[in-house]
Structure 1
Amino acid sequence: MTALHGALAPNGGVKLAHVATVLNGGTPRADDMNWNGDLPFVTPPDLRGLEGESILETSRSLTELGASSGSTVADFGLAVSCRAPIGYVGRLSRRSAFNQGCKAVVPSPEVDEKYLAYVLVAARPILEALGRGTTFMEISASDLGSLLVPATGQEEQRRIADYLDRETATIDALIEKQRALISGLRERRSAAVEHAVSGFTTSADETFVEGPSWMGSIPSTWRTFPLWAMYRREKRTGFLEEPMVSVFRDFGVVFKADRANLNETAEDRSIYQLVEPGWFVVNRMKAWQGSVGVSSIRGISSGHYLCFRPLHGENHKFLNWLFRSPQYRHGFAMLSRGVRPGQAEIDNDQLRKMPVVLPPLDEQREIADHLDRETAKIDALIAKAERFIELAQERRAALITAAVTGQIEIPRED
C-alpha cells in the first residue's frame, strides 16, 4: 500500500477490502445463447455521469448461461469502472453481471451502500492516479481493495449519505436547468442558421423556385452549381511543420490543439494533407453529422479527410455557414452510405455532384455577417451556462469529499 491509497483517510481508515468484497468482471463468448437475456451487463460507458446513482439501464444484457460461462454476477452493491476510464461509480439496482472493465464492490452488512458510493465518487482522482498500464490505464482489484476509506459507524454513514442526497439534489437541479437552457440556445442557433441560408434577406415579392431536395424552395435570384464546378479535390502532403487541424461537428475547421480530441495524431505526419484558408474540408465518415467546414486557417489534416481547393470567387464565410447548416447536414446524410446506423461514409464521386446554392455575392456577405453577429450572442450565453455547470460540478465534488472525510460538520436534523 502506498501513501496514495490513504489519501482519502489521512487520519487513519480501513481498507476497502475489509468492509466490502471486490469482484472482477468478465465477458462471455460471442455466442447467441449468452446474450440478450434478462440480466443487465454493466460496462464502463453505462456508468458515465451516474456519480454513485442507481444503474437503471445498460446497453447490453446476458442470459444466465452467459453470466455463468464468462462473467461475474452481483446481487447488490456498486460497480466501479477500472479501465477506460477509471473511477465511474454506479449502484446496482438489481442483480447484474459486469465486464472486465468494471469491478463490483459488495459492501458488508455494517456498511451503508449509498455512503460507500459517495466515498468512491470522492476517491476517483486517487483511483485514476493508481492506474497502471501501457496500452490503457487500469486499476487492479488489489489496488482498489487497498484503498483506505474513512472509518465511521453505520448511523453516521447514513447521516452523511442523507445529507449529501439533499445537497447534491439541489446542485443537480441547478445543473439540469442550465443544461435545458443550453439545449434551447442550441436549437435557437440552429434555427437562426437554417432561416438565414434559406433566403431571409429576400423581399416580400420575391419569387421562389425548387432547390435541392434538402433545401426546399430557394429565391429565384439564387444560382445552383455542382460542387465540382466550385472546388477541386487536392491531396498535398509533406508539410510536416504545419500545425494540425481537425474538423468538428460543433466548430468546423479548427486547430486540433485548441479542442479536446480523442483521436490521436499519427507519428508519421507525412500522411497528413495541407489545408489552406478557403478550402472545403470533409470528414467523410462523419459528414452526415455535420463534420465539414470551409477553413479560415492553414494547417495539415487527417489523410482520410476530403480536402477541396476553391475554384471560385464566392464568399468563403457564407459557404461555411451553408455547408454547416441543418439543410446541408441532411443533404450529406442523404448522400452517405453505410451498413449500419452510426457508420456512414460519403465518397468523392457523390460529393462532387452535390448542388451548391448561391445568392448574389452582396447577399452572401450580408447573410454571413448576420450569422456571425447572431451566433456570437448565442455562443456567449452558452459559454456562460457551461461555466456555471463546471463550477457547480466542482462544488458538488468538493462537497462530497468534505463530507465523507469529516472536513465539514454534518448538521443534525431536528
Structure 2
Amino acid sequence: MATGSTFEAVSTPQLGNSEVPLPDLDTQRRIAGYLDDKTARIDALIEKKRALLDRLAEKRQALITRAVTHGLNPDAPLKDSGIDWLGKVPAHWEVKKLKYLTPRVSVGIVVTPASWYTEEGVLALRGLNIRPMGFDLQATRLISEDGHEFHAKSELREGDLVSVRTGDPGTTAVVTEDLAGSNCVDLVIIRRPLEMSPRYLGWFLNSNVAKVQYQLGSEGALQAHFNVETSKETLIAVPPTAEQSDIVAHLEAALADHDVIAEKIATSVEKLTNTALPSSQPP
C-alpha cells in the first residue's frame, strides 16, 4: 500500500479505505484481554532477562577491574597506590601515566572526514565499530586512497590501540593483523606500547578504574568526551610483563565463557521481542 521514492508513506484515503475484520464487541473484548495478558507475561520475562544481562555486564566489569588492579595472586602483598579510585595494588607493580608507555597518542581524521568517503578504498574505523577489546564491522566506511595518503599519520598498525572519543568514551580495542593498514575517524590512537602487552593495556583501559579517569578528564572536571590529553594522563597499573600475559590469558578464557552465556540470553530477548503470540485460540 505504501508508496514514495524518498520514503514510503500511506495516505489518509488509503488508510481510510482499508478493510478491518470486525468481530462482535464481546469477542473484541475477549481478544483484547487475551492479548493484554499474554503480552504482559512476555514483557515481564523480557524485563527479567534484561536485568540479568545488566548483572552479567556488571560482573564482567568487576572481573576485568579486579584482574588489572590486583592480579591473579590473592596472597600478593599490596601497597597503597596513593590514588583514591585505584586503591591498593600489588607491591611489585608500578603505576605509570599512559604517555610514558607508548611512543605516541594522537587522533584519527577529525576535519570533514565525510569528504574522503568513497565506495571503494581504505577501511576507516569509527566509534560505532569499536567494542571493548573487539570490533563490529557491520557498518563501516571507506576513504579514498588519496585521503588515506593525506592522513598517513592515522594509519593503524597491528598492536596499536584505538579508543572511542564520544558516545561511549574510552572504549578500547587492539588493532589486529587483519585491520593493520586501515585508517580511523575521530578515534584516539595509542601506538603499540613499549615493552608491555597491548592486550593487557587494552583490558586496563576498558576497566572501571580507567573509566573513572575518562569521566574526570585530565583537569578533574566531569566530561563525556575522551580526548588525547585525557588519554595521555591516564594512570595505568603495570605488572611485570610475564604477569601481564597471565592476566590476559586468564581474563580472555573467563570472559569467553561469560560472553557465551550473555549471548544466549541476548538472543532469547530478541526472539521474545519479535515473537508471535502463542497459536492457541483465545478463550
TM above 0.5, one fold? Answer: yes
Structure 1 residue 393: Cα displacement: 2.5
State how far apart, in whole Å, the 2-side matches of 1:183 and 1:280 are. Answer: 27
Give runs of aligned pairs for residues 120-199 of structure 1, distance below 5 A.
130=2, 132=4, 134=6, 137=7, 139-142=9-12, 144-145=15-16, 147-199=18-70
Instruction: Give the 3 Å change call, closer, same or farther, for CA 311–380 of structure 1 in structure 2.
Output: closer
Give the RMSD, CA atoms, in angstroms.
3.4
Structure 1 residue 355: Cα displacement: 2.3
Bigger share in strand: 1
AA paired with 2:237? V
Give runs of aligned pairs for residues 228-267 of structure 1, distance below 5 A.
228-231=99-102, 232-233=104-105, 241-247=121-127, 250-257=131-138, 265=141
Unaligned runs of 5+ in 2: 110-115
AA paired with 2:203? W
Matched, 1:310 2:192: yes
Say if 1:253 and 1:296, in contact at 8 Å, map to a contact too.
no
SS in 2 for 1:165: helix
Give runs of aligned pairs for residues 275-314 of structure 1, distance below 5 A.
275-286=156-167, 288=169, 290-297=170-177, 298=179, 300-314=182-196
Say if 2:131 and 2:172, in contact at 8 Å, map to a contact too.
no
State how far apart, in whole Å, the 2-side matches of 1:223 and 1:163 are. Answer: 63
Aligned counterpart in structure 1 of residue 232 of structure 2, from 352, 360, 384: 352
1:393 equivalent in structure 2:
273
Equivalent pairs counted in the alignment come to: 265
Say if 1:336 and 1:344, in contact at 8 Å, map to a contact too.
no
Structure number with bigger Rg: 1
Instruction: Give the 3 Å change call, closer, same or farther, for CA 356–172 of structure 1 in structure 2.
Output: same
Instruction: Give the 3 Å change call, closer, same or farther, for CA 344–409 of structure 1 in structure 2.
Output: closer
Structure with the larger RCO, 1 or 2 (CA within 8 Å, 6+ apart): 2
> With structure 1 as the length reference, what TM-score do the two structures score?
0.55
State how far apart, in whole Å, the 2-side matches of 1:197 and 1:242 are. Answer: 35
State how far apart, in whole Å, the 2-side matches of 1:266 and 1:242 are. Answer: 5
Say if 2:97 and 2:234, in contact at 8 Å, map to a contact too.
yes
State how far apart, in whole Å, the 1-side matches of 2:77 and 2:184 are. Answer: 43
Identity level (%): 25
2:85 equivalent in structure 1:
214
> With structure 2 as the length reference, what TM-score do the two structures score?
0.78
State how far apart, in whole Å, the 1-side matches of 2:171 and 2:194 are. Answer: 22
